[in-house]
Structure 1
Amino acid sequence: MKTRRFPVIQPAESGRWGSAARELLSSLVDILSFPRPFEDAEIEREFLDDHGRRFAGFRRAAAILGFCVWTGYIWVEFTYASLSPAFRRVFPVEILLRSAGIVVIGTAVVLSFRRSFAREYTARRVMLSAIAAITVLILGMLFIAPGPYQFPYLVGLSLILSFQSGLLQLRAKSTFFLAASVVITILVLQVTLHFFDEQNFFFGVFFLLNLTVIGLGVNVHSERHVRERFAAEKALALSNTHLKEANAKLVAKRRALEIAQKEQLSKTNALIALKEQQREAANEANREKSDFLAAATHDLRQPMHALNLFLEAAEEALRKDDAAQSRELIAQVRKSSIIMGHLFDAVLDLSRLGSGHVSPDYRVFDLSPLVRGAIEQLKPLAAASGISLRLRCPSNVSIWVRSDPHWLDRIVVNLISNGLKYSDQRKASQSTVLVGIVRSANRVRIDVVDNGVGIAPQYWDAIFKPFFQIDNAERDRERGLGLGLSIVNAMVSMLDEHRIELNSLEGRGSRFSVEIPICHSQILASEPTLSEDSAAQLGGTAGLYVLLVEDDGLVRAATEALLTQWGVLVDSVKSITCIEELLDSVERYPDLIITDYRLPDGKTAHDVTETVRRKLGKSPPCLVITGEASSIGTTATCNQYALVKPVTPDLLRKRILEATAIGSPHLPARDYLT
């Protein structure tokens, strides 16, 4: 039995047709789908503004073209009227409707030249209104035209709908609704009035629908393309903005880098200049040191040479038994020895001051006795030279200053000696050196004024250099060594907040002024320190009652143990709070307070003395022992009894004796509370 093979239906074939149909339907749906507006309302508004501006000219040209086409159809209607008696009967009405259309399109053309036509809303309203009016006029012409002549008007209506879809760049949704309204109106009129013959009606409607769909597709595609173009331009503009911002940042960074490079170059140049200055300063210091050594060597050689010659001459005189000549030569030897000793001392002082191996020993003292002592020391020299030495300062007023009393005394003595040395011999008995103390709010000034030979301005800096003397080119040692002002300048430069000034007029005299800071606040009543011998005569420390305040337990225990071995009664505490508790139970006023400067909770030695004064009604002497040297120089200024750790037992004992001896007239050593 033969098996019959039936032909197999190829599913691919039907699949291709179905796929093509689906693609066609999908394409048709895509073509006739209205473009969606932008989700962001602000971007949509920007798009419409851009759309109106971009196509304003294009729409204006389309309106003018439409006006020409509409007007040109008058010739067609004249032709129809000449050929057909039936059309000739409706010709006046047709011309009237045609003229109305000319007015409508002409109005649209005129409005298109206005500035507001660039706005999308205005342009759409003008164009749609004109098209709607023209459509109504075409429908009227279509309604009254004889049967054979209805088709051209139907074709014209189709052209108008196509025209509005393509040339006027209207939005797809608006043109669709207008076209749909026209088609529906024609269908309703045909169903109700039957004014079309069937052949022309079906052919004309088919033609109208095709052109409407094609126009709608063109309109949709055009709007979609315009929207995509706007989005791309928007994205491009945003990218350009970001690019400009990035470029601006890069430019700013480049400028900042250039500025930084310039600053770095400036710093480098400044560093190079500073190093050059330091090198020059070092070279200058070396030259000054070499000059100083050369001058010192020269000046030391002179008296040494003279000393050797005088000794040799004295020995020759002794061999000749010339006693008078020998005594005279030995006197010259002594004079040379004294000059050489003074020169050695001055050179040593300058060397020590310049090396930084010495530092001022700051004390608080009354300035007036120091200045009076210097004047008393030099009065015999002034009297021998016939010079009047006078003092002018406030009487019975203590001027407390913080300085090194030994250095300051030497500064004042050197300045007064300089004024006596350079007195004007031509003025004889009128030569005067005036020493004055002038006080201001925060500083006190010591003035040494003479009416001597004066100093020319070009020498004001040079006189403070070693071995410089203006009118002693031959280096006569009897007229001084030329080191006094150098020592003064070196000492003043090392003293905190001290300053020296010079004012001079050649032939009239000079004024040297030393400014010193005044002390306003004191922890202790300041008195002159005692000498070693005086301290030894004060007696022992046994029986003294001391209040010890120290926050460091180890230091507090060591200090208490040492004081106890010296026979001192000690109460030790670690803070202000403990002091207040202790003072509530003491039966005797402390003879002395020994305290660290900086205590817990931000308290200081000032708070200690204030607490004791508030609790007991009196403030005993206070000795501050601190590990901060700055506390002595700044915070605890004007406190004579202040020591910097570490402190030797001998120095501590000396300061205790000084403080209790000076404080005893004010606070009895055995003053008990009642």
Structure 2
Amino acid sequence: MEKINILIVDDRPENIIALEALLERDDVNLISTTLPNEALRLAWEMDIAIALVDVQMPEMDGFELVEILKSNPRTKDILVIFVTAISTDAKYAVKGLNTGAVDYLYKPLNPYVTSAKVDSFLQFVRTQRDIVKKNKELEAYQKELIKAKELAEQGKKIKENFLANMSHEIRTPINGIIGLANLLEKTTLTAEQNEMISLLQISSNSLLGVINDILDLSKIDAGMFKINRTATDLEEVCHAVINLLSIRAKEKDLELITSFDPDLPKNVSADSLRLNQILMNLIGNAIKFTNKGSVTLKVEIMDRKGNNLQIRFSITDTGIGIPTDKIEKIFETFEQADESTTMNFGGTGLGLSIVKNLARLKGGVLTVDSCEGQGSTFCFVNWYEVLQDLPETKEKHLDKLLPFTNVRILVAEDNPINKFLIVKIMKDWEVIADFADNGQEALDKLRDNNYDLILMDTFMPVMNGLEATRLIRTDHIPGKKDIPIITFSAAVMENDKKAAIDAGANDVLSKPFELRLLHEKITQFINKQALML
């Protein structure tokens, strides 16, 4: 235990000897002097915790000594106990306490009282020093936490930037594929070609889903993931997945079997996109790890509570199965059951991790039952609210989008495929369109022409769309600062959308966008501009 320094100041050596005899113990270090000035020096040089000071001394009395100690930042925290033989009148005690003392001892000293008081102050000093030590440790820990937080935020920012850039780079060509497939669908095609276009659309949307999966995992980590429930036909979702994966099953000569509960309702409230992701991953995995036999999707009602149904989706295969000790491992990100699995079957190990997270976020339960060498059954169980059957309506995408009248739009887009698609769209809608390859070129065209609206890509060379938008909003081109601007980008992170709005965009569209949605937004802003004129 660290020794605590106690200073004894008395002009009479015999009094010092008496106090030392009373206070001597293993956990204290006694320092004494008969000279007040010497006492000041000792207090300055040594870590004095408690000072027992005689009141009446020549040259400098105890009150004066304590006033000097308390006025110095280095010695102001010393606990001072006055030792006096003068009257016990209250006015002396008040004067001493006002000077900064914490207690009085009266001569002749009572050994028990003296010892008890000093013990209590020793305990107080130790407690205070322990608090100071803990505070310093806490401050050091806080500094480490702040540093760790800064590093985490920096890492998060790097990760978000990487995801945004990769999202843009990958989604841009997929946007072209989806757009071209939509244009081809409107041309004269044979039944076989129509089926191929349909599969191309499903495949490209599925590829887009894989990219979204990676972004979803990031959103799940950041606590930003949302489940969007709408009226969903469960059989339709299942058939869409089976139709898409049937090609892979045929290639391996596998039988794809479906079984639906006859009491399954037409519509339930569900996030069809997330359910599609779960089934795509589970059935896709079953086909991948099955070399002969079959893969069966069974959908059945397990329980009813009022207007809610507990529905189980079970995917059973006759594949390689999973060893019992590896079942938990397969749900970890980038993990597979065995090192040889990647070599023999391929894959990233992302699928089941995504399924596990999606199942948890949807409020459902994911289970697996497997026997090595015989096959596996994955089950997803969740509660769904039953919705009344919706009236049959003509599908929106079959409705012709009406052309515009005397509308001129500036389109800033650097990707040649996307530009080709937008040229075709603008032509179909009878829009007078000018095109720019970057933000600077868009500003130059805006300076020389009048437009009803600008469609601005976010990522472009020379000058990006956000910078061009900011310049327009600051009246960089006189009289054009209020023109409606819709930005579109293949980056889909929330902070990318916020950045566009903060730059001055009126609205944001994510690539690939629905033609109807673009048509609606253009109509909305054109009508608004017309009302303002």
Global fold match (TM > 0.5): no
Question: Which structure has more RCO (C-alpha within 8 Å, separation ≥ 6)?
Answer: 2
More helix by share: 1
Point out the structure with max Rg over C-alpha.
Answer: 1
Which structure features the higher share of strand residues?
A: 2
